[in-house]
Amino acid sequence: MTAYQEKLLERFLRYVAIPSQSNAAVNTVPTSQGQIELGKLLVKELQDLGLENVKQDEHGVVTGFLPGTCARATLGFCSHLDTVDVGLSDVVKPQVIDYQGGDVVLNEKEQIIMKESEHPELKAYIGQKVIFTDGTSVLGADNKSAMSNIMTALSILVEEKREHGPIYVAFVPDEEIGLKGSKVLNLENFKVDYAYTIDSCALGEVVYETFNAGSVYFEITGVTAHPMSSKGVLVNPILVAHDLIALFDRKQTPEFTADKDGYWWFNGIEANALTCNLVMHIRDFDKASYQKRKEFVSKAVSQVQKLHPKAQIKVRFEDVYENICNNVKKEDKPIAKLYAALEEVGVEAKTYAMRGGTDGSCLSARGVVTPNYFTGAHNFHSLYEFLPLDSFEKSLEVTLKLIETA
Ligand SMILES: [Zn+2]
């Protein structure tokens, strides 16, 4: 194990020991006490490293500032504090295995085996030290590997007295349940020229294209009447909703689309005889066609309204996040610097357009261009999540290179 790997591992084990699952059933941010506890630890560590303005705000967002020792762009690094709740234990018992190929016995007692045949991605890591779970939880590399990466990078800058520009860090809660933390991050505490998130993804993966995303809330009010005397009177809001849904292309849905295709996704309905509340998500990589989809919704509503003049249809749009590259091109600084950093540390870039959003999509929508790069981990949100130490270190090297070349 290299000296940097030891540093990373030590931090990683410390952070995964604090359970910090977010809780989708809670409406306030942060949604769990664990994220506050983890944030408190980070506050102390940031203060010990000599960062300024270190704080944990009322939403559990932790921010800090490391003044520059030389003139460079002001960089930001962001990681989320929460781990996902997929019904597994929130107690993480990681193990470092010298992987020599074949199946991995995650848990001898419970006979939880990770089969190489089902996980061919393992083959790339033969002969490497890899952090695995004990088969009862996720590993939490999503996103405690990123947290360890950022904190280790800061400690290296300070301990090795490396030159660096001004750096802001932000640790945000509740990414897994709708990017809630990056929505409430106070940008006064994150006054960067541009920023990066480090999240998920295997060695070399870069994401700077994400969906433009929005939600549409329909509230349909019908007219109730006793069915014995309903003819020409009753307006059934459920059937109004049915007519509305029927206007949307059945093939432009998550289950029929891939790659760069956008979609509509009706994913919530609550109804009775009087009202029907309907929820739809809109996703599209292209901002213009995202707008067109919204216009289509408005047209569909007026069409159905004509069909059912006595029904009342209210519609409310909510933009949720935005494609990171709406306002930036591949040649522009934040993205070009990232590709250059990967090349300089000898990692082949694997770019992919993410059919989802990152904290960076949210920050980008708020005016801070924030691409994402890999942590090195695989199989996030699963008990088969694992983190190879060599990839973990490469991710750290990218961070250090971005700081050096800002
Ligand atoms: Zn994540």
pLDDT digits (tens, 9 = 90+) for 105-136: 999 999 999 999 999 999 999 999 999 999 99
- Token duo for residue 274: 């009087």
Q: Among residues 212, 192, 202, 201, which one has the least CA distance to residue 78? A: 192
pLDDT for 345 equals: 98
Confidence at residue 330, expressed as pLDDT on a 0 to 100 scale:
86
Query: Could you report the average pLDDT of every consecutive run of 10 residues in the chain (406 residues)?
Result: 97 98 96 98 98 98 98 98 96 98 98 98 98 98 98 98 98 95 97 96 95 97 97 98 98 96 96 98 97 98 98 96 89 94 98 93 92 97 97 98 98
Give the distance (Å) from ligand 1 centre to CA of residue 383.
Answer: 15
The alpha carbon of 86 and the centre of ligand 1 are apart by a number of angstroms equal to: 13
Q: What is the pLDDT of residue 329?
A: 85
- Whole-number Cα distances in Å, 275 to 297, 309, 311, 371: 19, 15, 10, 42
Pull the structure tokens for residue 235.
């307006």
**pLDDT, position 331:** 87
pLDDT given at position 55: 98
Report the candidate in 118, 60, 30, 29 with the shortest Cα–Cα distance to residue 383: 118
Q: Residue 170 has what pLDDT?
A: 98
Contact call for residues 220 and 240 (beta carbons, < 8 A): yes
Residues with a known catalytic role: 82, 175
Q: How far is the CA of 234 from the centre of ligand 1 (A)?
A: 48
Residue ranges near ligand 1 (ion) with Cβ within 5 Å: 142-143, 199-200
CA of 373 to the centre of ligand 1 (A): 11
Closest C-alpha to 65, from 154, 167, 172? 167
Strands 75-80 and 194-198: parallel
- Number of Cβ within 10 Å of residue 121's Cβ equals 13
Instruction: Please report the domains of the chain, with CATH numbers, ordered by start residue.
Output: 3-210+324-404 (3.40.630.10), 212-320 (3.30.70.360)
Residue written as tokens 């029907």? Answer: 276
